[in-house]
């Protein structure tokens, strides 16, 4: 019905901004690899394809083979899938819960705000690693989804705080008063008046959560708390270090996943900075 | 003649082109004159005031000449203006009282300001105290933080700082708008006192509130959409204006005593033109009841009687 | 039509809510049908707070507000929505009243969705165009535009048109023209007066004495949350009694006469309102009496339709 006016202006500036373009390009390349790769590469990532063990990149196996004779490239592209899934799911959960808590606390204020604030602070302070270790001890099988859930449910406080602050400042604006005087319910006001005004903020928050989730997952995988039933980039790094790739010099095993994670998260953060310039006209160079 | 402005044009650089904020303005401010600069929002009065002292992007100097005390004022060059600022020409910007650093005591802030201008704080202290006395501020104010002071107190402090070095010209931009009624009167009267005591030679008071100007200014300059409409001694502007815009503007102001039921006032229909691609000639012609063919040509700002200037073919033209 | 009974608003500020800020103290007045009443005060007088309490955007700490005899102070939900059919408000900053990323007409579609869900498109457009014409806007020129494409005066009229769509009986106008240019101000003001003929009552909140005198029948003068003088506008202006009212009349810049050199006591920061007359520290010495220190003075009638809250005036 009523489209936000800034849509066209936004796309014009977004596509002009080098950081956004570069970041977006990189992410898309990796995304493509993650989707197309497993289709063209028919090996299952955990199959033992080369009985002779670790070999460098060659014609048959583009990224070489692991210590156990697994196809590194195959692992890589499947791992990319898992990584993006964790980012999407973990980041998504973190953003959604953050939005829920942030909007309600920011809009309602008063006692509700105090309670939600306390909750936010508690979750912030929880030593996630310790909790995860305990959970890991109980759960024999962990999937990517479980990992995403855990990451999302512990990363939302940052999003909640930021969203709460913005909501606080927006709810005192007179157009919110006007909506109240039209008899609109609180939820409707939040979704139709406050959230659209914060769209840029929400997008940036999601991107940060996405990148953060990927990093978190890589860390957890690396120390052995990753998913047990599939392969991910972090797990690749864990195995490669565990099984002596550093000593043996099998750089093709640990460098691709590490580099990939670095580049992806770096691209995301770069996009974030670029989008900040796009959304905030004052930062734009004329 | 304290200030002579000749053919000054200032545009604003924007994404969509140049906004013609000030177009070929020529006027003078005499010695010891308090001139009010009035007009509605967007007329260019703040642009004019700021361009005389700090012309920086997005403002663009197009052409013109400014003379302060018969000496050329290099307004187009920010560097060359440095020796003039604060010493010969000074400004009290809009919202100045809210722009004070909340974490600095007033005395410290003043000291830093003076030092940045090459003036020794300790040596100026006795003078500062004298001025504080003049505006009825206690000396203890130098030890206060801005948050401990009321709006009126902050504004008076800013006035003291701006006039510390006795500038020739003081530009006061909306210094009374955010104050309560009693402080407004005190601050306005203080400005006149400053001029009377020689703390500043002349002053330009920028405001949209004509009634304040009626109380304190010697003459009023009315602007419309970046052009000068009329300049005359205060009484003439308020009681016997000639320019159609001034006449209509004065007619829209209800004085204390006017009642709707007795006499219904009317506003000026229409809106001021956008200054991105302004109409040629007189910019008021679309809303002017006296407009005729010649108005597409820019009328000159001429003097029809001593001290009374105006730009209008009908009222200030050769047949007026 | 609208009656305020001893309405007060206390804010709890400071750490742990220790400090109390009395924004509005024991304010009572009433507004009749087809009447324009001015609420005059400077910033800090509590006038906007009262306006927001009437509009139920802020809760009332004590006292009550009656509308057509019904106590509306605590209404919620459906009852509150009914209230909004009769009472609406327009605020000071026209640009802040609109969500900048959407078109300005959105405010109308909100009203339609909430209050007239079943109305057909044709009927709604007719109603809308009618409202716009009443406020003096040409529907072709102003519909389908974003807020930044319209002027302040047009935006304020839009808001009044929105209120008219609901067939309201009472409008709270909080400094609605102070941010407009002089040439459009008087038109919006005239509009309010014209609407009165259609049966609308207006609470005109302002700090500008001349506007209040131009448009209102009765006035209430507020100082620091207290009513200090109220009654017929004419009588207050011709015979101001309370020292604060006299200060306002003397210190306000006017176009018809110059200031007289009267002594004006300025407000200093930190004046706390205790249990004495709130104006005591700034009052003229020849007005002060012993009674002034005993408690907050109450409103007394000095002539028909003219009430003052001042011990020194009513002796």
Q: CB distance C187–B215 less than 8 Å? A: no
- Span C91-108, average pLDDT: 86
The whole-angstrom separation of Cα C71 and Cα C3 is 9
Is residue A62 scored above 80 in pLDDT?
Answer: no
CB-based burial label for B279 (10 Å; 0-12, 13-18, 19+): middle
Range name among A42-51, B204-213, C6-15 with the lowest pLDDT average: A42-51
Please give the pLDDT value at position A1: 37
Domain contains A196: yes
Domain contains A210: yes
When CB atoms are compared, the residue of A6, A174, A182 closest to C84 is: A182
**Across the B/C interface, how many CB contacts are shorter than 8 Å?**
120
C159 and chain A in contact, CB less than 8 A = yes
The whole-angstrom separation of Cα B307 and Cα B293 is 28
Specify the number of domains making up chain C.
1
Selected residue with higher pLDDT from C15 and A44: A44
Which residue, B160, B150, B99, B98, is CA-closest to B125? Answer: B160
Sign of the CA dihedral running B247, B252, B257, B259? positive
Domain contains C99: yes
Range name among A264-268, B13-17, B140-144, B293-297 with the lowest pLDDT average: B13-17
Domain contains C106: yes
The whole-angstrom separation of Cα A276 and Cα B297 is 47
Residue A121's alpha-carbon distances to A118, B147, C69, C98, in angstroms, are 5, 31, 48, 35
- Chain C: list its partners (3+ Cβ pairs within 8 Å): A, B
Is residue A3 scored above 70 in pLDDT?
Answer: no
- Span A208-216, average pLDDT: 89
Specify the number of domains making up chain A.
1
Concatenating the DSSP letter of every residue in A2-65 gives ---THHHHHHHHHHH-HHHHHHHHHHHHHHHHHHHHHHH--S-TT-B--TT------SSSTT-B
The whole-angstrom separation of Cα A152 and Cα B294 is 72
Chain C hits for A6, CB-CB cut-off 8 Å, are 101
Is residue C18 scored above 70 in pLDDT?
Answer: no
Please give the pLDDT value at position A4: 47
- Span B192-210, average pLDDT: 90
Domain contains A187: yes
Is residue B202 scored above 90 in pLDDT?
Answer: yes
Block residue for tokens 């012993």? C290
Is residue C263 scored above 70 in pLDDT?
Answer: no
For residue C117, give how far its alpha carbon lies from the nearest alpha carbon of chain B (Å). 36
Range name among A164-168, B4-8, B31-35, C141-145 with the lowest pLDDT average: C141-145
Chain A hits for C106, CB-CB cut-off 8 Å, are 2
Average pLDDT, chain B: 87
Please give the pLDDT value at position C87: 92
The whole-angstrom separation of Cα A244 and Cα A240 is 6
Domain contains C313: no
Domain contains C207: yes
Residue pair B142/B110 in contact by the 8 Å Cβ criterion:
yes
Which residue, A262, A254, A247, is CA-closest to A75? Answer: A254
Residue pair C73/C241 in contact by the 8 Å Cβ criterion:
no
Is residue B268 scored above 90 in pLDDT?
Answer: no
Beta strands in B87-245 (DSSP E): 89-92, 169-173, 202-207, 219-224, 227-233
Structural domain range at position C125: 2-308
Q: CB distance C110–A173 less than 8 Å? A: no
Residue pair C20/C11 in contact by the 8 Å Cβ criterion:
yes
From the CB of residue B238, how many other CB atoms can be counted at a distance below 10 Å? 19
Query: What pLDDT, in 10s, does the model give residues C293-302?
Result: 777 788 888 8
- Span C36-63, average pLDDT: 89
C211 and chain B in contact, CB less than 8 A = yes
Is residue B35 scored above 90 in pLDDT?
Answer: yes
Residue C129: CATH number of its domain: 3.40.50.300
Is residue B223 scored above 90 in pLDDT?
Answer: yes
For the record, the structure tokens of C136 come out as: 């003096």
The length of chain A is: 286
Chain A hits for C86, CB-CB cut-off 8 Å, are none
The whole-angstrom separation of Cα C156 and Cα C158 is 5
Domain contains C89: yes
> B206 — phi, psi (to 5°)?
-95, 125
Is residue B193 scored above 70 in pLDDT?
Answer: yes
Is residue A8 scored above 70 in pLDDT?
Answer: no
For the record, the structure tokens of B13 come out as: 């650089």
Block residue for tokens 């900048």? C100
Burial C262-286 (b: 16+ CB within 10 A, else e): eebebbeeeeebeeebbbbebbeee
When CB atoms are compared, the residue of C44, C186, C264 closest to B186 is: C264
Q: CB distance A175–C99 less than 8 Å? A: yes
For the record, the structure tokens of A29 come out as: 């390349």
**Across the A/C interface, how many CB contacts are shorter than 8 Å?**
58
Query: What pLDDT, in 10s, does the model give residues A49-60?
Result: 777 766 777 777
Residue pair A221/A102 in contact by the 8 Å Cβ criterion:
no
> B177 — phi, psi (to 5°)?
-65, -35
Average pLDDT, chain A: 81
Q: Which residue of chain B has the CA closest to C36?
A: B260
Domain contains C67: yes
Domain contains C222: yes
pLDDT category at A95 given cuts 50, 70, 90 is very high
CB-based burial label for A90 (10 Å; 0-12, 13-18, 19+): buried
User: Structure pTM?
Assistant: 0.79
Structural domain range at position A187: 6-283
Domain contains A193: yes
Please give the pLDDT value at position A118: 92
Residues near B46 by beta carbon (within 8 Å), at least 6 away in sequence: B94, B173, B174, B206
Please give the pLDDT value at position C268: 56
Range name among A253-257, B24-28, C197-201 with the lowest pLDDT average: A253-257
End-to-end alpha carbon distance in chain C? 33
Domain contains C74: yes
Average pLDDT, chain C: 84
Range name among A37-41, A257-261, B264-268, C131-135 with the lowest pLDDT average: A37-41
Q: Is B318 helix (H, G, I), strand (E, B) or coil?
A: coil
Block residue for tokens 């000071």? C92
Which residue, B65, A61, A182, is CA-closest to C106? Answer: A182
C20: Cα within 13 Å, side-chain hemisphere: 9
- Could you tell me what percent of chain B has a pLDDT over 70? 99
Is residue B204 scored above 90 in pLDDT?
Answer: yes
Domain contains A1: no
The H-or-E segment that residue A86 falls in is helix A72-108
- Span B201-207, average pLDDT: 93
Please give the pLDDT value at position B230: 92
Residue A110: CATH number of its domain: 1.10.3720.10
């Amino acid at each position: 019905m009523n489209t936000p006016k800034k849509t066209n202006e936004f796309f014009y500036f977004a596509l002009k901004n080098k950081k956004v373009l570069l970041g977006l390009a990189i992410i898309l390349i990796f995304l493509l690899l993650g989707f197309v790769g497993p289709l063209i590469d028919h090996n299952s990532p955990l199959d033992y394809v080369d009985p002779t063990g670790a070999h460098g990149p060659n014609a048959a196996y583009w990224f070489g083979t692991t210590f156990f004779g697994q196809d590194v490239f195959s692992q890589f592209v499947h791992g990319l899938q898992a990584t993006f899934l964790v980012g999407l799911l973990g980041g998504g959960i973190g953003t959604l819960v953050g939005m829920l808590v942030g909007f309600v606390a920011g809009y309602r204020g008063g006692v509700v705000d105090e309670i939600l604030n306390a909750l936010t602070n508690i979750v912030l302070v929880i030593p996630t690693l310790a909790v995860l270790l305990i959970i890991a001890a109980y759960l024999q099988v962990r999937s990517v989804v479980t990992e995403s859930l855990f990451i999302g449910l512990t990363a939302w406080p940052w999003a909640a705080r930021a969203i709460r602050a913005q909501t606080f400042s927006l709810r005192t604006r007179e157009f919110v008063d006007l909506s109240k005087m039209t008899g609109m319910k609180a939820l409707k006001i939040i979704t139709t008046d406050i959230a659209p005004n914060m769209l840029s903020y929400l997008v940036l928050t999601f991107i940060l959560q996405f990148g953060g989730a990927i990093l978190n997952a890589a860390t957890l995988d690396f120390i052995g708390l990753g998913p047990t039933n599939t392969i991910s980039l972090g797990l690749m790094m864990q195995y490669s270090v565990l099984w002596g790739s550093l000593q043996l010099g099998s750089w093709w095993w640990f460098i691709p996943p590490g580099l990939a994670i670095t580049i992806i998260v770096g691209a995301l953060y770069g996009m974030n900075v670029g989008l900040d310039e796009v959304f905030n006209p004052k930062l734009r160079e004329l | 003649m304290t200030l002579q402005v000749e053919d000054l044009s200032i545009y604003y650089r924007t994404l969509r082109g140049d906004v013609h904020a000030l177009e070929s303005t020529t006027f003078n401010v005499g010695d010891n004159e308090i001139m009010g600069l009035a007009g509605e929002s967007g007329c260019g009065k703040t642009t004019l005031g700021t361009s005389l002292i700090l012309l920086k992007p997005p403002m663009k100097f197009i052409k013109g000449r400014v003379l302060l005390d018969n000496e050329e004022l290099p307004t187009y060059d920010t560097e060359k203006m440095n020796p003039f600022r604060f010493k010969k020409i000074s400004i009290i910007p809009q919202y100045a009282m809210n722009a004070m650093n909340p974490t600095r005591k007033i005395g410290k802030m003043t000291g830093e300001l003076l030092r940045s201008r090459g003036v020794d704080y300790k040596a100026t202290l006795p003078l500062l105290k004298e001025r504080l006395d003049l505006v009825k501020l206690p000396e203890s104010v130098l030890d206060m933080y801005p948050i401990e002071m009321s709006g009126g107190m902050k504004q008076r402090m800013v006035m003291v700082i701006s006039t510390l070095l006795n500038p020739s010209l003081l530009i006061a931009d909306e210094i009374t708008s955010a104050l309560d009624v009693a402080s407004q009167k005190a601050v306005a009267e203080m400005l006149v006192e400053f001029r009377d005591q020689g703390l500043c030679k002349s002053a330009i008071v920028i405001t949209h509130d004509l009634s304040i100007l009626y109380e304190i200014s010697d003459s009023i300059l009315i602007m419309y959409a970046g052009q000068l409409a009329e300049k005359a001694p205060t009484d003439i502007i308020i009681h016997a204006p000639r320019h159609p815009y001034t006449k209509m503007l004065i007619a829209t102001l209800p004085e204390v005593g006017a009642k709707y039921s007795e006499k219904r006032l009317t506003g000026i229909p229409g809106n001021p033109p956008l200054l991105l691609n302004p109409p040629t000639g007189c910019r008021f012609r679309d809303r002017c009841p006296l407009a005729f063919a010649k108005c597409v040509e820019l009328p000159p700002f001429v003097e029809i009687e001593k001290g009374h200037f105006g730009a209008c073919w009908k009222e200030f033209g050769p047949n007026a | 039509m609208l009656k305020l009974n001893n309405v007060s608003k206390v804010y709890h500020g400071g750490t742990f809510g220790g400090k109390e800020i009395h924004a509005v103290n024991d304010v009572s007045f009433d507004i009749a049908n087809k009447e324009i009443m001015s609420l005059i005060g400077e910033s800090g007088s509590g006038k906007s707070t009262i306006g927001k309490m009437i509009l139920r955007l802020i809760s009332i700490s004590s006292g009550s507000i009656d509308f057509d005899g019904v106590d509306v102070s605590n209404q919620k939900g459906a009852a509150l929505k009914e209230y909004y059919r009769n009472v609406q408000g327009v605020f000071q900053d026209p640009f802040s009243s609109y969500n900048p990323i959407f078109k300005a007409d959105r405010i109308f579609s909100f009203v339609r969705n909430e209050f007239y869900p079943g109305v057909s498109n044709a009927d709604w457009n007719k109603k809308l165009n009618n409202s716009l014409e009443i406020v003096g806007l040409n529907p072709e020129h102003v519909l389908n535009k974003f807020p930044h494409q319209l002027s302040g005066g047009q935006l304020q009229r839009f808001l009044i048109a929105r209120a008219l769509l609901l067939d309201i009986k009472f409008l709270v106008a909080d400094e609605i023209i102070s941010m407009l240019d002089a040439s459009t101000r008087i038109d919006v003001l005239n509009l309010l007066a014209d609407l009165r003929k259609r049966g609308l009552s207006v609470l005109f909140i302002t700090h500008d004495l001349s506007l209040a005198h131009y448009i209102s029948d009765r006035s209430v003068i507020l100082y620091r949350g207290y009513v200090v003088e109220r009654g017929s506008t004419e009588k207050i202006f011709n015979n101001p009694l309370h020292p604060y009212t006299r200060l306002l009349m003397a210190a306000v810049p006017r176009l018809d006469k110059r200031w007289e050199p009267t002594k004006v006591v300025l407000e200093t920061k930190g004046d706390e309102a205790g249990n004495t007359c709130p104006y005591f520290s700034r009052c003229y010495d020849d007005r002060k009496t012993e009674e002034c220190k005993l408690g907050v003075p109450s409103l007394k009638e000095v002539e028909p339709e003219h009430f003052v809250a001042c011990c020194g005036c009513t002796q």
